Structures are given as structure tokens and as C-alpha cells.
């Protein structure tokens, strides 16, 4: 009974109208109008909250180092959502091809900057047995190389791009295990897992309707976990006291 009902619903719902065909090799996926709209909304919604998160972290900082490192994370957060939203608006409009290309490169490049900005507060504010400074330098060198790669090889070698994102995102995590105390590791891992699960949807354009918007949601959940982790374990905010 239940299975026949499900079959009826899935056959009557025409999912083909919600998405277009997957892109050919070397081409970009063309989202449907409703997918374009979802792409704009799912990141545009978080620009203002991330600006408020930035102000909150700065307000809760008790030292110069806390202030500068959490400002960096908050600024990267605002930059991430803003760049993505502008790119998706331009993409939806179908106009201004030069600006669209600029913001498309920016949308990809800012991910590297965001990864480095996410690690920086932990590598500076936490105590480590060793390697923290070296890993911090390495993370930023990789991020700058990633930005250059996004600019030079825009939309080419997409698989390699994916390997770079995951490599730059995950390798420094090994250093985090070297922290003198492991507080925050659970939230950091859950956040990281959100990004990794999201990659599945990032690569599913034209296969799953709204795949890119779902990827956006995973990005937001990852950033939210990392924001909570920074507030709780690096700024010592006790959220329950504010509830
Ligand atoms: Zn996007």
C-alpha cells in the first residue's frame, strides 16, 4: 500500500522540469530558473547573519590575537557568502559575462581563502606540541596557490580542483590532532564532515535537482559548526548562559 503510493507520487512528480541535463565534458551546467533562484537564496540568506557573527566574535574577544584571528574568520565568512551570491545573481541574469567570469573565479578562489581563515584561529590561539607555525605558513601558501590555480585554470581539470580542495581542507587537520587539549575537535570534525558530504552534491549537477543549492546548505552547516566551535572553545562563550 505505502510502496504503491510512493510509486504514484514519484511518477506523477515531474522532476525533469526541475533540472537540466548534466553538462558535457568541459562545459558548465545550465541550472533551471528555479535552481538559479535556489542558488541565490541559499547563500544570500547568510550574508547578514555572517556579518552579525563577525561583530559578535569581535565583541566577545578579550585579546588582540582573539580579535584579529576571529575577525579574519568572520570576514572570510562574509566574503564567501557575498561572492557566491553575486556570482549566482549574475549567472541568473545571463548578463555581464566579464563580471560573471570574474565572480565565478572569485567564488572558487574564496574557498581556499576561507579554508585557511578557518584554520588560522585554531593554529594561533590553541597550544600545540609542535608544528603549528609551520602548518599555518603552509596553509596560507596552499591557499594562495589555490587562488592562483583558480585564476589560471578556471573550469579546467575539475577533478584536480576537487582533489586540491579536499587536500588543502583536510591535510592541516592532521596538525590539529597535535593540540595540547582536544576541546573543539568534535565540532571541527562535524563541520569538516559537512563540507565533505556536500562535495557529493557539488558534483551532482544535472543528476539531482537543486544539487548546487544543497551543496550551499552543507557549506552553511559546516561554517555554522565552525563558528560555534570558535565561540565555545576559543572565545569561551557560554551560549547556554545567554539562552
Ligand atoms: Zn554556488
Overall average pLDDT of the 103-112 stretch: 91
Annotated ligand binding at 88? The verdict is yes
**Spatial distance between the Cα atoms of 116 and 224, rounded to a whole number of angstroms:** 16
**pLDDT per residue as tens digits for the range 18-49:** 777 777 777 777 889 999 999 999 999 999 99
Predicted TM-score (pTM) of this structure: 0.86
Q: How far is the CA of 39 from the centre of ligand 1 (A)?
A: 6
Q: What percent of the chain has pLDDT over 70?
A: 91
Q: How far is the CA of 52 from the centre of ligand 1 (A)?
A: 22
Enumerate the β-bridge partners of residue 218: none
Q: Is the pLDDT of residue 1 over 80?
A: no
- 8 falls in which pLDDT band (50, 70, 90)? low
Q: Is the pLDDT of residue 9 over 70?
A: no
Q: What is the pLDDT of residue 10?
A: 53
| Sign of the CA dihedral with 28 first, then 161, 83, and 78 last | positive
Q: What is the pLDDT of residue 135?
A: 87
Q: How far is the CA of 151 from the centre of ligand 1 (A)?
A: 17
Overall average pLDDT of the 8-24 stretch: 66
Q: How far is the CA of 173 from the centre of ligand 1 (A)?
A: 24
Q: How far is the CA of 32 from the centre of ligand 1 (A)?
A: 14
Residue ranges of domains in the chain:
31-242
- Average pLDDT across the chain, whole number: 86
State the alpha helices, DSSP H only, in the chain.
2-12, 33-44, 47-60, 64-93, 97-125, 132-152, 158-170, 173-176, 185-202, 211-229, 239-242
| CB-proximal residues (5 Å) to ion ligand 1 | 84
**Spatial distance between the Cα atoms of 49 and 69, rounded to a whole number of angstroms:** 19
Q: How far is the CA of 63 from the centre of ligand 1 (A)?
A: 35
Q: What is the pLDDT of residue 153?
A: 77
Annotated ligand binding at 43? The verdict is no
Q: Is 177 helix (H, G, I), strand (E, B) or coil?
A: coil
**Spatial distance between the Cα atoms of 19 and 166, rounded to a whole number of angstroms:** 27
Q: Per CATH, is 31-242 categorized as 1.10.10?
A: no
Q: What is the pLDDT of residue 39?
A: 96
**Spatial distance between the Cα atoms of 219 and 196, rounded to a whole number of angstroms:** 9
Cβ atoms of residues 187 and 226 within 8 Å: yes
Going by C-alpha positions, the residue among 129, 236, 227, 121 that lies closest to residue 177 is 129
Annotated ligand binding at 104? The verdict is no
Q: How far is the CA of 84 from the centre of ligand 1 (A)?
A: 5
- 60 falls in which pLDDT band (50, 70, 90)? very high
Amino acid at each position: 500500500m505505502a510502496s504503491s503510493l510512493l510509486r504514484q507520487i514519484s511518477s506523477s512528480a515531474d522532476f525533469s522540469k526541475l533540472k537540466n541535463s548534466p553538462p558535457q565534458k568541459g562545459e558548465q551546467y545550465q541550472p533551471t530558473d528555479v535552481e538559479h533562484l535556489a542558488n541565490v537564496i541559499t547563500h544570500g540568506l547568510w550574508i547578514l547573519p555572517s556579518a552579525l557573527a563577525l561583530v559578535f566574535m569581535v565583541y566577545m574577544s578579550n585579546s588582540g590575537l582573539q580579535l584579529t584571528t576571529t575577525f579574519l574568520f568572520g570576514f572570510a565568512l562574509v566574503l564567501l557568502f557575498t561572492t557566491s551570491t553575486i556570482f549566482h545573481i549574475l549567472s541568473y541574469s545571463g548578463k555581464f559575462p566579464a563580471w560573471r567570469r570574474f565572480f565565478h573565479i572569485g567564488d572558487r578562489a574564496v574557498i581556499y581563502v576561507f579554508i585557511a581563515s578557518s584554520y588560522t584561529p585554531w593554529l594561533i590561539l590553541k597550544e600545540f606540541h609542535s608544528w603549528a607555525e609551520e602548518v599555518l605558513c603552509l596553509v596560507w601558501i596552499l591557499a594562495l596557490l589555490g587562488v592562483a590555480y583558480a585564476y589560471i585554470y578556471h573550469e579546467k581539470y575539475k577533478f584536480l580542483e576537487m582533489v586540491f580542495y579536499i587536500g588543502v581542507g583536510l591535510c592541516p587537520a592532521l596538525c590539529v590532532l597535535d593540540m595540547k587539549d582536544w576541546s573543539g575537535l568534535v565540532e571541527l570534525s562535524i563541520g569538516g564532515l559537512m563540507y565533505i558530504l556536500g562535495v557529493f552534491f557539488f558534483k551532482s549537477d544535472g543528476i539531482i535537482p537543486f544539487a548546487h543549492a544543497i551543496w550551499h546548505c552543507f557549506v552553511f552547516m559546516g561554517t555554522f559548526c565552525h563558528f560555534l566551535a570558535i565561540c565555545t572553545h576559543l572565545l569561551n562563550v557560554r551560549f547556554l548562559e545567554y539562552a
